[in-house]
Amino acid sequence: MLNPFLFRKTTMIFSFIQKPFIKNGVFKWLPPPIKSWTKYRTLPAIQNIPFHKRWEKLFKK
């Protein structure tokens, strides 16, 4: 990854933007052409807490 800071900020922004499209942890609606791909597949939502933060929390216990 070239810029971890940019990746974290982008992930944070998209986790906020995706909220209207999420139901039960997966996207319920997406615009075309992605809509046809998700007709038969689920696309999980971006988690609010990034993996690296959950990993740190797990090992602090």
In a domain, 2, yes or no: no
pLDDT of residue 1: 62
The residue-averaged pLDDT of 40-50 equals 85
Three-state SS at 46: coil
The residue-averaged pLDDT of 8-14 equals 87
Structural domain that includes position 40:
20-60
In a domain, 31, yes or no: yes
Instruction: Please list the residues that pair with 44 across neighbouring strands.
Output: 26
In a domain, 10, yes or no: no
How sure is the predictor about 49, in pLDDT bands with cuts at 50, 70 and 90? confident
pLDDT of residue 6: 92
Give the chain's mean pLDDT: 85
Report how many domains make up the chain: 1
In a domain, 37, yes or no: yes
In a domain, 25, yes or no: yes
In a domain, 11, yes or no: no
In 10 A of CB 35, how many CB atoms?
A: 11
In a domain, 8, yes or no: no
How sure is the predictor about 61, in pLDDT bands with cuts at 50, 70 and 90? low
